Amino acid sequence: MGLQVLDTALYGIFTLVLGWLLHLIYRWRNPPCNGRLPPGSMGLPVVGETLQLLKPSPSLDIPDFYKLRLKRYGRLYKTSLMGKPVVVSMDMEFNRFVFRNNDKLFQLWYPDTMNSLFGKKTVAEGYGSVHRFVRSFAAPAYAPKNLKEALVSAMESIITESLRTWATKPNIEVKEAMTEMIFGITVNMVIGFESNSLRVKELRKNFELFFQGLLSFPMYVPGTKFYQSMQGRKYVQKVLKGLLKERISTPQKRYGDFLDIVAEELRREEALVDENFMVDLVCGFIFAGIALTPATLTIGMKLLTDNPNVVETLTEEHEAILRKRKEMLNSRITWEEYKSMKFTNQVIFSLIYLVINEIIRVSSNGPGIFRKTLTDVQVNGIYLLLHV
């Protein structure tokens, strides 16, 4: 009799647990809302369809993750990525609606991995009044005066050294070479490091870890990409904090880089932001400088290779500038010479336009632009976006 009661109790508990799990799974796959959600699958609980998104694509075309769901559900569908319910839009009109209502119905949003890597406070306050404040004190670093006096000369020096290094090699991998060169320029402008120093090489190695874990699943477990990315973040933060403390304690020394401006702001008695915010901000500046530029330049070089007439005209323009120089031919480029490069500037603007369109057409450096809803949003009475 006692065993029968025990068996009945265990069976009842098992049934309740199973029912509870099934209920959670059902709620996961059918999120509550006040309207009709787009079609789609929420995937596995918690994990969602993150693993399918992160699966490498065999070509430069639209990733299979989007192709499959576009064919199955249409241009608008629901899913779950990195632990969050989301709606993916590949519809032009719907995307226009989102952009038109930015900061009214929608706001920029970043996955938890990006928040952790770049600093939750920095990301959360990356818009509004703090964003305007950052722009106001960062603007002097890129003012025309600084561009004339420092940036053009520094860029020429780093680019020239890179070209000399490339010339000594039988061949180069263009994307890698471009990344190394742009990283050298960026860290020189932002924190004053010499582009070819050992510190830059070590810093770049840790920044590379950022790319590996930006869209990984946020599991802080040794061996995972997210863990490796966080270790890289800790190294970068340690370096930047050390530099910043040194700058703050020696106000008489000026290096002419962005870190000077940051240190000056933190020395103020009523600074709007703290040291941790500024360190994450500087880290973000460096990351932004190398995130897309190398890929853009690589495609630009491919387009120039396919148009030898353009290269010939560019060569003629620059040789004409060299012939006009009164000083030695190996003297530094001047701001006046840069402004006189009419055809070069036309090519640059054309390349930027073509490259942007080509990147959009054949590949993507990221899975899309993330936004969250500020309120429940219905479009044409059919779709309701989920809060994230």
User: Could you tell me if residue 2 is inside a domain?
Assistant: no
Q: Could you tell me if 237 and 283 are in contact, meaning their C-beta atoms sit under 8 angstroms apart? A: yes
pLDDT tier at 365 (50, 70, 90 boundaries)? very low
User: Could you tell me if residue 154 is inside a domain?
Assistant: yes
Instruction: Say how far residue 112 (Cα) sits from the centre of its chain.
Output: 14
Q: At what angle do helices 198-213 and 225-249 cross, to 10 degrees?
A: 140
The percent of residues in the chain predicted with pLDDT above 70, rounded, is: 73
Question: Which of 52, 80, 85 is closest to 66 using CA atoms?
Answer: 52
The verdict on 208 and 312 lying in the same domain is no
Q: Which domain holds residue 235?
A: 128-290
- Count Cβ atoms below 10 Å from residue 6 Cβ, excluding itself: 10
User: Could you tell me if residue 79 is inside a domain?
Assistant: yes
pLDDT tier at 257 (50, 70, 90 boundaries)? confident
* Across 248-272, average pLDDT: 82
User: Could you tell me if residue 60 is inside a domain?
Assistant: yes
Bin 296: left if φ > 0, else alpha if -120 < ψ < 50, else beta. alpha
pLDDT tier at 170 (50, 70, 90 boundaries)? very high
Joined tokens for residue 48:
């969602």
Of the residues 290, 305, 326, which one is the last residue of a structural domain? 290
Q: To the nearest whole number, what is the mean pLDDT of the chain? A: 77
User: Could you tell me if residue 24 is inside a domain?
Assistant: no
pLDDT tier at 363 (50, 70, 90 boundaries)? very low
Of the residues 261, 290, 319, which one is the last residue of a structural domain? 290
5-19, 136-150, 199-213, 342-356: lowest mean pLDDT where?
136-150
| φ, ψ (nearest 5 deg) of residue 34 | -100, 10
Of the residues 290, 322, 348, which one is the last residue of a structural domain? 290
| Residue 32 DSSP SS3 | coil
**In the predicted model, is pLDDT for residue 318 greater than 60?**
yes
The percent of residues in the chain predicted with pLDDT above 90, rounded, is: 3
The verdict on 274 and 302 lying in the same domain is no
Measured CA to CA, the distance from residue 325 to residue 311 in angstroms comes to 22
The verdict on 296 and 284 lying in the same domain is no
Q: Could you tell me if 297 and 178 are in contact, meaning their C-beta atoms sit under 8 angstroms apart? A: yes
Structural domains in the chain (count): 3
**In the predicted model, is pLDDT for residue 288 greater than 80?**
no
pLDDT tens-digit profile of 2-13?
A: 556 666 667 677
DSSP strand pairing (371-373 vs 106-108)? antiparallel
CA angle 315, 318, 322 (to 5 degrees): 130
The verdict on 269 and 206 lying in the same domain is yes
The verdict on 281 and 136 lying in the same domain is yes
